[in-house]
Chain A
Amino acid sequence: MTLDGFDSGRTARITSVDWAILAEDEGKRLQALGVDEGAEVAIVHRGVFGTRDPIALRIGNMTIAIRRAHAAAIEVEGA
């Protein structure tokens, strides 16, 4: 399943990322932040309003904000 549908608070392991559907710069940025195959992440907060966008992601000791559209490109499994 993809990260945007994953439960909040649970740790997920990234199994693959569909870089092709992400803008090149954004893919680079995500990689630089450590969002890549094998990384363990957890959704810690979800945004306002109906779409619950953006989402806050815990990765290592860092919290990053991404959009759900990015999360939809990230395939994960429970860790």
Chain B
Amino acid sequence: MSRKHTAALVGNPNSGKSALFNALTGARQKIANYAGVTVERKAGRLTLPSGEPVELLDLPGAYSFDAASPDEAVTRDVVKGTFEGEAVPDVLVLVLDAANLEQHLVFAQEVLELGRPTVVALNMVDLAERDGLTLDPEALSEALGVPVIPTVAVRRRGITELAAAVAEAETHADEEAHKRWHLTLPERRLSAKHMARAAILSKSTRHTIENGVDRILLNPWIGPVILFGLLFVIFQAVFAWATPFADALEGGVGILSAGVTDTMASGIFRDFLTEGVLAGVGSVVVFLPQIIILFAFILVMEASGYMARAAFLMDRLMAGVGLSGKSFIPLLSSFACAIPGIMATRSIADPKDRLTTILIAPLMTCSARLPVYAVIISAVIPDTSVGAGVGLQGLVLFALYVAGIIGAMVVALVLRRTVTKGAASGFIMELPRYQLPRVKDLAIGLWQRAWVFLRRAGTIIFVATIALWVLLSFPKAGEGESQLDASYAGVVADAIHPVLEPVGFNREMSLALVPAIAAREVAVSALATTYAINAEDEDLAAQGVTERIAALWTLPMALAFLAWFVFAPQCLSTIAVARRETNGWKWPIVMVVYLFALAWIAAGATYWIAVSLGL
């Protein structure tokens, strides 16, 4: 047969499906979206014992076909063969958590009713044994009428047997489906109970570790302290550990750029490569270390089962502004970069919750703001101590983070009462069992996130940088005229300057905002270029941007500039991702307008207050 065969993993959330998928397919996975919906489509290649390759799909976890979320709807439609553009899978691999049989058998029966060739993976049998359960796979196989293979995905136990069973089931792929009798939910629940009982040989009343661990981690007093301690460590790590790698990457881009400059004849094309492509793409790549470190923590929190506990602890706080604990995970990601943060909102079932979270994600202080903050703070804030070993510069940086968080909470509150008004969202979430994450699964997850980030942000930044380079480089300046003044960007800066003048911005600051539309950190290099070009003599040109700012900006001006960057949506990639995730331009436009309005008000308020205080 020449037709390409397909199989799909189906099962409840937290059945260990993804670990099983990794064990069956290895690291070569293709991640895309299902047509028309923002649900991630994960596919890989499973090699059968005969050597025949089969495309294996990892379908989103579902509790039932009566879909409550877009993810579940995709699973239902693909399995039933009603999803346009997706072939109905030849074989279904039904993944059950061995320790949670009674619950997972409810959905299992719904899948088996379809009568498709199916193999059951009785997964995580080791965890069931840890809980004191001894299971009889054969009894279960008899009750379900399909092969049941015990597996431990994380230890590759049962993987070859499962592949063999898929191969066997595949021989029946072209037969007519033997639809089974349709049961109602209570009937399915009852028979799940009977089947689970029959399959459990012995059950010792050993206490599960969850209760003991949760007693500490979910303790109303100790739990939040542990969570905030952990968050503190994560932020330390993201900013301290990433620096050497980011510096190395920056150095690498610099060497590459110097190499191009040395080897190529000067001209427009060389400028395009060094000032456009390398500078632009390089400005994104330097954030990769921070993103990888933050995601390493997030993946460990997810794989271990702690993330659901963090959501549990944060739920009350989020409920205060009309959101739920589920928004915590995307917002945490947004501290590295709003792009993966906005993509992570897919796990939020409630559409209004999800939209609100997307709209406030850019207010979390992402790593692209750090270069701007660092340069301005070191230029205008004295490096003194405010006591107890706390430096004034660090305090200002901390205040900027807090301003973003408070801003986000206030905006969420307002949005939930206006544009995303609706019934208060609920919070229903399974708290999975604790598990030791496996290094290989983490590595695969990290690689996928890093690649998605580089590809998406890289392509958008790439295009934007070319456009901006053109705006900055043309038309060419005449004799004695600065390139920035003469360029189209300079014209744009002149046009927006009257709007920004009242909030304390000088012309250089307004100009810096134009290229920084692509990415915030570009503001720093734009200021550097402006001051270098406009320097009256060599000595001034040799000064760094920090010294020039210290000399030319007043404190209120600098503070206004910082306040602007807490809110301004100066990131084309974020806007593009928001458009994709909300399927239209309406919400990205709302986001951009409200964020610019807030930025202007915040900068203005900061400037006017600072001036009136005589700073």
Residues 189-215 of B at the A interface (beta carbon under 8 Å): 189, 208, 210-211, 214-215
Contact A36 B189 (CB under 8 A): yes
A-B contacts, 8 listed (Cβ < 8 Å): A28-B66, A31-B64, A31-B185, A36-B185, A45-B215, A56-B218, A61-B208, A67-B428
Instruction: Determine whether B550 belongs to the interface, using a CB cutoff of 8 Å to chain A.
Output: no
Q: Mark B61-105, 1 if CB is under 8 A from A, else 0.
A: 001101011000000000000000000000000000001111100
Interface residues on A, range: 20 to 34
Total contacting residues, chain B, CB less than 8 A: 44
Partner of B63, one of A32, A59, A65: A32
Among residues of B, the one whose C-beta sits closest to the C-beta of A49 is B316
Instruction: Determine whether B223 belongs to the interface, using a CB cutoff of 8 Å to chain A.
Output: yes
Contact B220 A61 (CB under 8 A): no
Contact A47 B428 (CB under 8 A): no
Contact A28 B102 (CB under 8 A): no
Bound: A34/B100 CA distance, A: 12
Contact B313 A64 (CB under 8 A): no
Q: Mark A52-79, 1 if CB is under 8 A from B, else 0.
A: 1110100111111111011000000000
Give every chain B residue within 8 A of A52 (Cβ-Cβ). 220
Instruction: Determine whether A29 belongs to the interface, using a CB cutoff of 8 Å to chain B.
Output: yes
Instruction: Determine whether B430 belongs to the interface, using a CB cutoff of 8 Å to chain A.
Output: yes
Give every chain B residue within 8 A of A47 (Cβ-Cβ). 218, 220, 312-313, 315-316
Bound: A53/B424 CA distance, A: 14
Contact A65 B312 (CB under 8 A): yes
Instruction: Determine whether A26 belongs to the interface, using a CB cutoff of 8 Å to chain B.
Output: yes
Residues 97-155 of B at the A interface (beta carbon under 8 Å): 99-103, 106-107, 131
Contact B224 A48 (CB under 8 A): yes
Among residues of B, the one whose C-beta sits closest to the C-beta of A33 is B63
Instruction: Determine whether B427 belongs to the interface, using a CB cutoff of 8 Å to chain A.
Output: yes
Instruction: Determine whether B186 belongs to the interface, using a CB cutoff of 8 Å to chain A.
Output: yes
Give every chain B residue within 8 A of A59 (Cβ-Cβ). 103
Bound: A8/B99 CA distance, A: 24
Bound: A62/B319 CA distance, A: 24
Q: How far is the CB of A55 from chain B (nearest CB, A)?
A: 9
Contact A34 B313 (CB under 8 A): no
Bound: A33/B428 CA distance, A: 10
**Are A60 and B430 CB-contacts (below 8 A) given A31-B185, A32-B63?**
no
Give every chain B residue within 8 A of A66 (Cβ-Cβ). 426-428
Among residues of A, the one whose C-beta sits closest to the C-beta of B227 is A48
Instruction: Determine whether B280 belongs to the interface, using a CB cutoff of 8 Å to chain A.
Output: no
**Are A53 and B315 CB-contacts (below 8 A) given A32-B68, A36-B186?**
yes
Q: Mark A33-53, 1 if CB is under 8 A from B, else 0.
A: 110100000001111110111
Instruction: Determine whether B615 belongs to the interface, using a CB cutoff of 8 Å to chain A.
Output: no
Give every chain B residue within 8 A of A28 (Cβ-Cβ). 64, 66, 68
Contact A23 B185 (CB under 8 A): no
**Are A61 and B426 CB-contacts (below 8 A) given A28-B64, A47-B312, A53-B316?**
no
Give every chain A residue within 8 A of B68 (Cβ-Cβ). 25-26, 28-29, 32
Bound: A29/B107 CA distance, A: 12
Contact B427 A54 (CB under 8 A): yes
Give every chain A residue within 8 A of B189 (Cβ-Cβ). 34, 36
Give every chain B residue within 8 A of A49 (Cβ-Cβ). 220, 316-317
Residues 420-444 of B at the A interface (beta carbon under 8 Å): 423-424, 426-431
